Chain A
Amino acid sequence: MSDPLKFSFSNMFTRTRIVLGDDVLTTLQGEYGRDRVRRVYYDQIAFVLTWKTDRVLALLVMFIMLMGLALAAIVSFASYHNWIIGSIMTIIGILDLWGMVQAGRKKMRHLAIYRTGNILRISGAMDDRKFNFFLDSLQQRIRAVQQAGTAEIQSPVA
């Protein structure tokens, strides 16, 4: 029994965590005080489709926020000579700009897992290298289970 692998797909307001166990993929969607758990047993999976999109909405929101912060910083510096507020606005703006760069680098990843009669869809931003590692791990584990032909629940992280 190998250690479960953990991954997370982050959206603007939610984060989906994924645990790859020996015989089951578990997704956890965060709610306050609890996580919604969905389990997909590897032996039931027929197809996995993946595609990626740009994070247009996140970039747009961050760009609008950056414009607002820049305006507030300029007003603070120029009109009121308020260096403290202006500096805080500038720092937040730089962090926002850094977030925009990160959002441009990380693509929105979509995953559709086809199992017995239904589709589990997972979306979120993830680094390319990490996503490739996730896909390879998932593929290996599914093939191992489907070759063994086991359907029994074996691991405690099921």
Chain B
Amino acid sequence: MRLYFMTDENVPAADLTPATPEAAPQASPTDLISASPTSPTDFDPSQSDQPAVQSAVAAVQSPAGGPPCPVAGCKGIMRSLPVTIGTAQSRCTLCGLETDEFVFRPVLHETVRAELALAEDAVCAFHPDKKAVNTCAGTGNFICALCSVPLRDSTYSVQFLESSAGKAVIGGNFDRYLNRPDRAVIAPLLLYLVLPLAGIIWFTAVIWFPYGLFQWFAARRQWKVDALFRTQCSSLRLWTILVVFLLAGGASLFSSVGMIWYMVITGIRGSA
């Protein structure tokens, strides 16, 4: 079991107090631990004056549940275990799973409801019955609260962000897949190792060598523009792949072309 007490030095004690009742966090043993004094052995949480500590004590003692059990299919609730100093644990009420628990305070986002437009109001370009509240920085269209996406210091419409021009603005921030052409370079090398067993390596290099080279250049292009790709494929890795590919693929291609040339020459001489 790890010890978590007083590890979070960046959190000042005053900050643990919620600003408003709506913003009150789901108090937890972690809050209790973070707000505890430096000598935990002398600390009696139930006697504390701090609101965060009191709410944490209430959460620990409350029969109301915590988060749902993370095990797929289990309908249990994670209930905090009695706090022993320095630990924050919870146990599922149904399956009995015991976990270490960290509790955070999500930032509340104000939701603006889209209003119905009156006769004299400007209307949203995409929802004709909604009142326009913003102008899209990408297209200039009037947009309603439903379509508005604040991004950095501007507001864009959802429809613009889904277009190719919008993707240029947000980069790869909303992409669901990251292309890995570097893996497509490695795959032909594996073929190079496997195909000799089947005795057909000589004719395949003509196909996969240009394909692998094309994929390497695609990886190089992506490496220049995609920050997430750069975290997964370093420059050293990219160049190492190229060197290995050229050595193995070049030798295979040379053999392949030589064998084809030999067969053609043999065929011509045989027919003559």
Residues of chain A within 8 A (CB-CB) of B179 are: 33-34
Max chain A CB contacts within 10 Å: which of B2, B170, B181? B2
Once the chains are docked, how many angstroms separate the CA of A110 from the CA of B68?
15
Q: Which residue of chain A is the closest to B8 with respect to CB atoms? A: A143
B98 and A51 within 8 A (CB): yes
* Interface contact A49-B231, CB-CB below 8 Å: no
B224 at the interface (CB under 8 A from A): no
- Are A140 and B100 CB-contacts (below 8 A) given A35-B178, A132-B2? no
- Decide if B104 touches A47 in the complex (CB within 8 Å): yes
Q: Which interface residue of B90, B107, B178 has the most chain A CB atoms within 10 A?
A: B107
Find chain B residues with CB under 8 A from A142 CB: 104
User: Given contacts A33-B179, A136-B7, are A150 and B101 in contact (CB under 8 A)?
Assistant: no
A156-B107 CB under 8 A given contacts A37-B178, A139-B102: no
Chain B residue contacts of A140, Cβ below 8 A: 8, 10
CB distance from A86 to the nearest CB of B (A): 21
Interface centre among A4, A34, A115, A135 (most CB of B within 10 A): A34
Nearest chain A CB to B31 CB, angstrom units: 12
Q: Is A106 an interface residue (CB 8 A)?
A: no
C-alpha gap A50/B97 in the complex (Å): 10
Residue B260 interfacial (CB < 8 Å):
no
Q: Is the CB of A153 within 8 A of B107?
A: no
Separation in Å of the A7 CB from the closest CB of chain B?
A: 11
Q: Which residues of B contact A119 (CB under 8 A)?
A: 68, 70
Q: By the criterion CB–CB under 8 Å, are A47 and B178 in contact?
A: no
Complex: chain B residue closest to A49, CB-CB: B99
Contact A51 B97 (CB under 8 A): yes
Chain A interface, number of residues (Cβ within 8 angstroms): 49
Judging by beta carbons under 8 Å apart, are A4 and B232 in contact? no
Q: A28, B170: Cβ atoms under 8 Å? A: no
Residues of A within 8 A of B150 (CB): 152
- Of residues 1 through 25 on chain A, the ones whose CB sits less than 8 Å from some CB of chain B are 4, 6, 17, 19
Tell me the minimal C-beta distance from B121 to chain A in angstroms.
28
Look across to chain A and name the residue whose beta carbon is closest to the beta carbon of B187.
Answer: A32
Task: Answer whether A157 and B228 are a contact pair too, CB < 8 Å, given A46-B67, A119-B70, A143-B104.
Answer: yes
Q: Are A45 and B173 in contact (CB under 8 A)?
A: no
A58–B90 CA distance with the chains assembled, in angstroms: 27
Q: Encode contact with A along B209-236: 1 for CB under 8 Å, 0 otherwise.
A: 0000000000000000001100110000
Known pairs A28-B228, A150-B107; list 9 more (Cβ under 8 Å).
Answer: A33-B180, A34-B179, A35-B177, A47-B67, A47-B103, A49-B102, A50-B102, A139-B102, A153-B173
18 A-B residue pairs with Cβ-Cβ distance under 8 Å, sorted by A, are A4-B231, A6-B231, A19-B232, A33-B184, A34-B177, A44-B106, A44-B107, A48-B102, A50-B102, A110-B70, A135-B2, A135-B102, A139-B102, A143-B8, A143-B104, A146-B105, A146-B106, A153-B170
